[in-house]
Structures are given as structure tokens and as C-alpha cells.
Amino acid sequence: MAEATQTYNLLKPLKEDYGTISNFVDGEFVAPQTDRFLGITSPLDGKVIGKVPLSTKAEVDKAVKAAHDAFWDWRSTPPLDRARCRCRASFCALMEATVVAGSVTQYNALTEGG
């Protein structure tokens, strides 16, 4: 009797639609003030899976100002506190990297038609 081979996909299924990605300004997500968006296409099949705002000049200026202001707060933060913050951020990025790596692996392993 031949043994049946089972395959398992341990990766989470890919999202079909990521929706509209908001801008992140001054520590919070901000709804875009534009009606112009750019589609995010899947490298797998070219379908639009989300969209990002084509931000206005005023929105970009506000984000740049917030980043500039944050720089001065960051600069006055003691080095040990900055190191702790960067360590936490690195850990979070590493955890997120495993999710991203799984998605990349899944995309690369798929052939046209699934």
C-alpha cells in the first residue's frame, strides 16, 4: 500500500486587500486629505491589493515638520534611554521580519495560477 504524502502550509494566507494605508505623522495614523491614491500591486499576479495616498504638499510639509521637531526631542534624550528605545525597536522589527519573510517566501514559492 502506497503511503499518502501530505503537505502543510505553515504560513498565514496572504491578504487579498490591505485597504488604504494611512500616513503616520507625529506618532499617529492620519487620514489622508487627498482624493488621489496609488495602487499597490501584488508581484504575484499584478492585482491591486491596497492603496497609498498621493499626499498633498501641505501633508508632506506637516510630516517633515513633525519629524524635525521629534529630532530635537530625540537629540536631548539621554544616550542610555535612546539605546533602550532602539533595542526595543530592533526587537519589534525582528519579530515583524519573520512575518514579512513568510510572505516573501510564500510569494516566491507560488507559480502563476497558485
- Cβ atoms of 18 and 49 closer than 8 Å: yes
The SS3 of residue 20 is: strand
pLDDT for position 93: 81
**Sequence ranges of the domains in the chain:** 13-65, 76-114
Q: Is the pTM of this model over 0.85?
A: no
User: How many beta carbons lie within 10 A of that of residue 48, not counting itself?
Assistant: 13
| DSSP string covering 70-108 | HHHHHHTS-HHHHHHHHHHHHHHHHHHHHHHHHHHHHHH
pLDDT tens digit sequence for 51-84 = 999 999 999 999 999 999 999 888 999 999 999 9
